[in-house]
Amino acid sequence: MNAPPARRLLCVGLALALWTVTGTALASTVLLVRPPNPSRVASEALVRMHGELASAGFDVSFAAAMVGVDARASLEMLASGPGVDAVVAILGDNSPDAIEVWVVDRVNGGSVVRRTPYQTGGERDAEVLAIRAIELLRASLLEVDLAGLTPRPPAQAKPAEVARAVEHAPEPRDGSRWGLEVGGSMVTSFDAVGPAVVPFLRFDGAIAPWCVAQATFAGLGTRARVGTSVGSAEISEQFVLGGATFRWRAHKGVHPALSLAVGALHTSAEGRADWPYNQQTAARWSFLADAGVGLRLALGTRYEMAIEAHAQLAEPYPVVRFLGVDVASSGRPTLLLTLALVAWL
């Protein structure tokens, strides 16, 4: 059977008084926070709490809740005030719905925060509300009191070698999710198409430390040349790729990488023929598959140098014909040697 509220209030008061006499209570100054628009129950409960705490030897004062500030932030600012050891607040705009207590732990630092819900509707709401608030305060004070008997051990100083290593350690690049690559490719074919240089721009998005999604745009480079006894042709290529790069030991200064991508290839050719033949131009689109391997070298915390070799297959592959005879082709496969500077944003 539960004790009547009056008897419980008396027991709480005696316990607080005994606490003060024995010197085990850590708190000496308690702030009671009034709601912005206190109800009759909340006002009466605060008066009862003030009387009980004052009779137990505490320095008790009232404080108004901060208007326009979150309740939790308001209590935290009040608890951080000079000389304040505990804050007790009755929460609720129209009627009390919760009690929150903040007790400052001055030995170990920080605060003990406790909250309990409350539902009104009884004849002795103010009395019961005051009892519960004081009991919550008592439990919080006891927790801080016990924590003060066993303060945290001071942190041990790090050896000088460890401190220097931590101080000069580079920041990890894993926190950067987006990257931009600018570089160029030396392009050549096995079938009579001469070399060309094609610049490219690549956008990176880190899905995981070992996987990076990529989108590549290449073009506006030099033209490859194909020559025969009856004429010549200049070939230019532009391509767009989407794929991913898989990285090993991404946290190391040098790490290998494998890339796979698919996209589209646009090839244009401008032919020049000896008289009496006419020169012609042609262009076509092809499906493009790309596979590459390479190494990435870290240049500080947010930059890398990427060196890669790629093989590309095009379908249908571009063919250069003179007088109906195939004289050169590309994309079966085309080889690329790329060099790029990578910046992680």
Structure tokens given for 144: 């801080």
Q: Which residues neighbour 14 within 8 Å (Cβ) at sequence distance 6 or greater?
A: none
Q: Residue 129 and residue 140: Cα distance in Å, rounded?
A: 17
| Average pLDDT over the chain, rounded to an integer | 77
Q: Residue 125 and residue 46: Cα distance in Å, rounded?
A: 12
Considering its fold, how many domains does the chain have in total?
A: 2
Q: Is residue 161 part of a domain?
A: no
Q: Is residue 133 part of a domain?
A: yes
Q: Are 190 and 124 within one domain?
A: no
Q: Are 131 and 204 within one domain?
A: no
185 touches 340 (CB < 8 A) = no
- Sign of the dihedral defined by the CA atoms of residues 237, 242, 245, 251, in that order: positive
Structure tokens given for 25: 């209570």
Pairing state between β 178-191 and 196-208? antiparallel
Q: What is the dihedral of CA 331, 335, 336, 337, to 10 degrees?
A: 180
Q: Residue 190 and residue 59: Cα distance in Å, rounded?
A: 92
Structure tokens given for 282: 């042609």
Q: How confident is the model at residue 146 (pLDDT cuts 50, 70, 90)?
A: low
Q: How confident is the model at residue 36 (pLDDT cuts 50, 70, 90)?
A: confident
Q: Is residue 154 part of a domain?
A: no
Predicted confidence (pLDDT) at residue 136 exceeds the cutoff of 50: yes
Q: How confident is the model at residue 86 (pLDDT cuts 50, 70, 90)?
A: confident
pTM as predicted: 0.49
What are residue 156's DSSP bridge partners?
A: none
118 touches 126 (CB < 8 A) = no
Per-residue pLDDT tens digits for 158-204: 455 544 443 443 444 445 689 999 999 999 888 878 789 999 999 99
Q: Is residue 167 part of a domain?
A: no
| Residue 80: CATH number of its domain | 3.90.950
Q: Residue 330 and residue 312: Cα distance in Å, rounded?
A: 9
Q: Are 185 and 62 within one domain?
A: no
Mean local confidence (pLDDT), 124-130: 79
Q: Are 132 and 217 within one domain?
A: no
- Residue 132's region, left for phi above 0, alpha for psi from -120 to 50, else beta, is alpha
Pick from 44, 343, 338, 321: which is nearest to 191 by CA?
Answer: 321
Q: Is residue 98 part of a domain?
A: yes
What local confidence, expressed as pLDDT, does residue 89 receive? Answer: 80
Coil, strand or helix at 337: strand
Helix (H), strand (E) at residue 253 = none
Q: Is residue 321 part of a domain?
A: yes
Coil, strand or helix at 123: coil
Q: Is residue 157 part of a domain?
A: no
What local confidence, expressed as pLDDT, does residue 269 receive? Answer: 85
Mean local confidence (pLDDT), 234-248: 92
Q: Which residues neighbour 297 within 8 Å (Cβ) at sequence distance 6 or greater?
A: 253, 254, 304, 305, 306, 307
Q: Are 223 and 334 within one domain?
A: yes
Out of 149, 167, 196, pick the residue that ends a domain: 149
What are residue 141's DSSP bridge partners?
A: none
Q: In one letter, which amino acid is 143? A: E
Q: Residue 140 and residue 144: Cα distance in Å, rounded?
A: 6
Q: Are 55 and 145 within one domain?
A: yes
Q: Are 112 and 229 within one domain?
A: no
Pairing state between β 29-34 and 86-91? parallel
Q: Are 131 and 188 within one domain?
A: no
Q: Are 112 and 181 within one domain?
A: no
**Residue 162: exposed, middle, or buried by beta-carbon count in 10 A (0-12, 13-18, 19+)?**
exposed
What local confidence, expressed as pLDDT, does residue 15 receive? Answer: 52
What residues make up the domain containing 283?
176-344
Q: How confident is the model at residue 26 (pLDDT cuts 50, 70, 90)?
A: very low
Q: Are 66 and 137 within one domain?
A: yes
Q: Are 228 and 297 within one domain?
A: yes
Q: Is residue 301 part of a domain?
A: yes
